[in-house]
């Protein structure tokens, strides 16, 4: 089986960022009051005073302010499907697994349309809280091996060297930069 990171790998640039901007443009009056708090959380994360998980929850704290979040996600994917990379569409297989730090509610519609299985960050769509662990770095390996015990990863694709733990599981791994695939460094 082949395993893929999602953001900046299959989808370019980042689905969480694009979704937040999509909602900000559509509902500026509802979301603008959250910006000062988000700026503080981003600064704290940059200084190492808070976790990436808390920053992500802050970024998605706007979810309760969206009138019909399911319809908004559907509209987002209708408008942003063009960001799915052609190289992936040309090589996708029925047993592909997408493993992403992005919220499961956001990536799931894309994974379903692509026919791929999904492991992502479990986030409550009603309040933006992560329910479990943020699915990044070594957490990806933990979640993958729990979901697919004994399965062999033929190829792994990611834009980030932070995914080195997942790359180490694969027979071959590739780094993806703006749609260009290269062998994983030091693999």
Distances in whole angstroms, Cα of residue 134 to Cα of each of 41, 51, 76, 180: 17, 10, 23, 27
Any alpha helices (H) in 81-183, and if so which ranges?
86-91, 104-114, 138-147, 164-169
Distances in whole angstroms, Cα of residue 38 to Cα of each of 42, 55, 153: 6, 8, 37
> What pLDDT does 30 receive?
84
Asked whether the whole model's pTM tops 0.75, one would answer yes
Q: Would strands 180-183 and 170-177 be described as parallel, antiparallel, or unpaired? A: antiparallel
Give residue-wise pLDDT tens across range 36-81: 888 887 888 788 888 889 889 999 999 999 999 999 999 999 999 9
Check which CATH number belongs to the domain holding 9 and give it. Answer: 3.40.50.1000
Q: Looking at the structure, do residues 22 and 9 belong to the same domain, yes or no?
A: no
Per DSSP, the three-state class of 24 is helix
Domain residues for the domain of 23 are: 18-76
Q: Looking at the structure, do residues 87 and 100 belong to the same domain, yes or no?
A: yes
Cβ neighbours, 10 Å, residue 114:
18
Beta-carbon contacts of residue 77 (< 8 Å; ≥ 6 apart): 109, 110, 113
Q: Looking at the structure, do residues 147 and 105 belong to the same domain, yes or no?
A: yes
Q: How many residues does the chain have?
A: 187
Q: What is the mean pLDDT of residues 114-124?
A: 98
Q: Considering its fold, how many domains does the chain have in total?
A: 2
> What pLDDT does 62 receive?
94
- What mean pLDDT is reported for the chain? 95
Tokens of 85: 């990379």
> What pLDDT does 42 receive?
81
Q: Looking at the structure, do residues 30 and 7 belong to the same domain, yes or no?
A: no
Q: Looking at the structure, do residues 112 and 48 belong to the same domain, yes or no?
A: no
Give residue-wise pLDDT tens across range 144-154: 999 999 999 99
Q: What percent of the chain stands above pLDDT 90?
A: 84
């Amino acid at each position: 089986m082949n395993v893929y990171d999602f953001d900046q790998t299959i989808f370019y640039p980042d689905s969480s960022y694009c979704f937040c901007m999509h909602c900000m443009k559509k509902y500026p009056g509802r979301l603008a009051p959250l910006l000062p708090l988000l700026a503080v959380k981003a600064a704290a994360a940059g200084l190492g005073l808070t976790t990436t998980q808390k920053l992500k929850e802050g970024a998605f704290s706007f979810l309760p302010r969206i009138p019909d979040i399911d319809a908004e996600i559907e509209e987002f994917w209708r408008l942003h499907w063009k960001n799915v990379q052609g190289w992936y569409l040309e090589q996708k297989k029925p047993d592909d697994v997408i493993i992403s730090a992005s919220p499961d509610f956001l990536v799931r519609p894309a994974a379903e349309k692509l026919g791929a299985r999904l492991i992502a960050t479990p986030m409550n769509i009603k309040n933006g809280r992560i329910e479990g662990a943020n699915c990044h770095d070594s957490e990806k390996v933990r979640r993958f091996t729990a979901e697919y015990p004994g399965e062999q990863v033929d190829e792994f694709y990611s834009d980030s060297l932070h995914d080195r733990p997942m790359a180490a599981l694969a027979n071959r791994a590739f780094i993806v930069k703006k749609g260009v695939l290269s062998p994983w460094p030091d693999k």
